[in-house]
């Protein structure tokens, strides 16, 4: 381990950072699950990643707020459909189905 640490210290900082980023990418792609905005009832293929469904649901909500602020037409239409789910009382079962989809990944 000491020899590898010494070798790592000899690398230029750009290469050390690249190796660190590659390690993080490996971690995220092998320990996290991903779903798209579309899979979560949205209107695009933006990818949300997290270890839990709650994490990606929070990311999706934040994305929805940004799209709402931008008055993005397709996302506004998707939000309207989500509102209908809430009004009909079907939101809990819809969310449970999305969480089951996440768990199956």
Domain boundaries, the chain: 1-31, 33-104
Rounded to whole angstroms, how far apart are CA atoms 82 and 77? 9
- pLDDT tens across 75-103, in order? 999 999 999 999 999 999 999 999 999 99
Token pair listed for 5: 């640490």
Rounded to whole angstroms, how far apart are CA atoms 74 and 80? 10
- Burial, 102: exposed, middle or buried (Cβ in 10 Å; 0-12, 13-18, 19+)? buried
- pTM, 2 dp: 0.69
pLDDT at 85: 94
- pLDDT tens across 26-50, in order? 665 557 899 999 999 999 999 999 9
| Residue 22 banded pLDDT, cuts 50, 70, 90 | confident
């Amino acid at each position: 381990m000491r020899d590898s640490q010494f070798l790592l210290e000899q690398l230029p900082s750009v290469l050390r950072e690249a190796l660190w980023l590659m390690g993080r990418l490996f971690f995220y792609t092998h320990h996290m699950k991903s779903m798209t905005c579309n899979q979560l009832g949205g209107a695009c293929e933006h990818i949300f990643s997290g270890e839990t469904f709650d994490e990606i649901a929070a990311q999706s909500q934040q994305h929805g707020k940004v799209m709402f602020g931008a008055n993005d037409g397709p996302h506004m239409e998707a939000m309207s459909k989500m509102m209908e789910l809430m009004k009909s009382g079907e939101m809990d079962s819809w969310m449970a189905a999305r969480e089951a989809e996440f768990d199956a990944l």
